[in-house]
Amino acid sequence: MNMQKLLISLFVISALNACGQNHQDNVATIQTQEQSATEMLSTESKLWQSTDSKITFLIGKVTPKLKSITEPAYFAKSSAQLDKDGQFSMSIDLQSVNTDIEIRNQRLKDWFFETSKFPTATVTGKLDSVAINQMKIGDILLLDQSLVLNLHGQDIDIIAPLLISRTSKNKIIVNTRHPVILDVRQMNMLNEVSKLVEGMGLSSIWEQVPIFFYGEFTTK
């Protein structure tokens, strides 16, 4: 074999080896990506936790001149968790209520929530933890969730229209698709509303209270 044919043969062999190596590299890359995706989408039961979720509500009131005013308020402190069995629990610090006006905050604490006797409210329920843990990143789950609100010593059954989205391996976001409407009659708190009406010199306060929720839950 002359030198020219030898060089050509060596070039062909080298090219074939390179192609084979590239194919192996591509296969290895795909396998690594598939393995990462499998790890990311693990359906193992998890403990999800959230602190200081955004819990807001609207206060509707009517002035003596019959002018309607809607004022937002929120709770600055709360904690929540969804355990491995799907048991959901949330504790809300009622003393953290905030309307951005201190005297109004104090009136809500003293006259409506009566935080000296009822400092916290709780929300409990059983969620479908299997469906939540099976969510892939980018998935959205819609739930009309039965929950129990304990407020002012009363247990109140509510239905929360929830939107749950998985944004990463270790994070889900839960928020209400539209507000939960609480009725002060159902909560047996008309006397507390009357205290606010009288103390604030109002004509009336709406008996229906819209509540919104947004929480970011993480797991290890």
The per-residue pLDDT for range 28-54, each reduced to its tens digit, is 444 445 444 444 455 567 899 999 899
Give the distance from CA 197 to its chain's centroid. Answer: 33
Closest to 177 in 3D by CA, of 189, 160, 201: 160
pLDDT of residue 172: 96
142-163 average pLDDT score: 96
pLDDT of residue 46: 87
Question: Do 213 and 53 contact (CB within 8 A), yes or no?
Answer: yes
The per-residue pLDDT for range 107-131, each reduced to its tens digit, is 999 999 999 999 999 999 999 999 9
Q: How far apart are CA 108 and CA 197, in angstroms?
A: 11
For 96, list phi and psi in degrees, rounded to 5: -90, 10
Maximal CA-CA distance, the chain: 110
Q: Flag whether pLDDT at 75 surpasses 90.
A: yes
